[in-house]
Amino acid sequence: VKREKQVFVLRLSHRPFRDKRVTSHVGLVARAFGADGLVISVEDAAVSRSIGDVVERWGGDFSVSVERDWRGYLKRWKGLVVHLTMYGLPLDEVISDVQSVTGDVLVVVGAEKVPPEVYKRADFNIAVGSQPHSEIAALALFLDRLFKGGGLRKDFEGKTRIIPSANGKFALSD
């Protein structure tokens, strides 16, 4: 059953040598906070493998795909495009407008300087505070607001599941 809103994250300008860890974390946060997939514009087996390993063990339907022609991908994208940038409009001011649009959402985050065409293509340029910080933090907050906290309550039905505990580490494995 297709959920009402599918959310994908497009990570631009991934530099395999420098950005491996941050891009992996963008993917892990996307998954853990309720998104459906990560799109990277540069093939990086280490990123695909690390996220794939987590999905295999911890569950959920989460894809990692490579779109070398990210400009074409952005052009073809039929849903909403949200670009997270400190230069955008404040998250609190626009999140209800984003929520009210039906259809899929592509969330774009950068690494180095994001080309001006992305700002133009985006339906919403959104700032998570107007200070420079991190694509990982910006994504986490945006998804949490978008899903009104529901992303964190998602049941991943994984082979391994944590039993929340106040004072220990407990998990079940199939």
Ligand X SMILES: C[S@@+](CC[C@H](N)C(=O)[O-])C[C@H]1O[C@@H](n2cnc3c(N)ncnc32)[C@H](O)[C@@H]1O
Q: What residues line the site for ligand X (CB under 6 A)?
A: 84-86, 109-111, 113-114, 127-129, 131-135, 138
CB of 64 to ligand X, least distance (A): 18
147 residue type, one letter: F
Q: Which residue, 96 or 167, has its beta carbon nearer to ligand X?
A: 96
Q: Which residue, 54 or 91, has its beta carbon nearer to ligand X?
A: 91
* CA angle, 54 then 156 then 13, to 5°: 45
Q: Which residue is nearest to ligand X (CB)?
A: 110
Tokens at 47, concatenated: 């990123």
Q: Which residue, 98 or 128, has its beta carbon nearer to ligand X?
A: 128
Q: Which of 11, 10, 20 is nearest to 44 (CA)?
A: 20
Q: Which residue, 86 or 101, has its beta carbon nearer to ligand X?
A: 86
CB of 145 to ligand X, least distance (A): 12
CB of 163 to ligand X, least distance (A): 34
CB of 86 to ligand X, least distance (A): 3
Long-range contacts, stretch 22-26, CB < 8 angstroms, 24+ apart: 22/111, 22/134, 22/135, 22/136, 23/47, 23/111, 24/50, 24/51, 25/136, 26/109, 26/135, 26/136, 26/139
**What residue has token string 């985050």?**
109
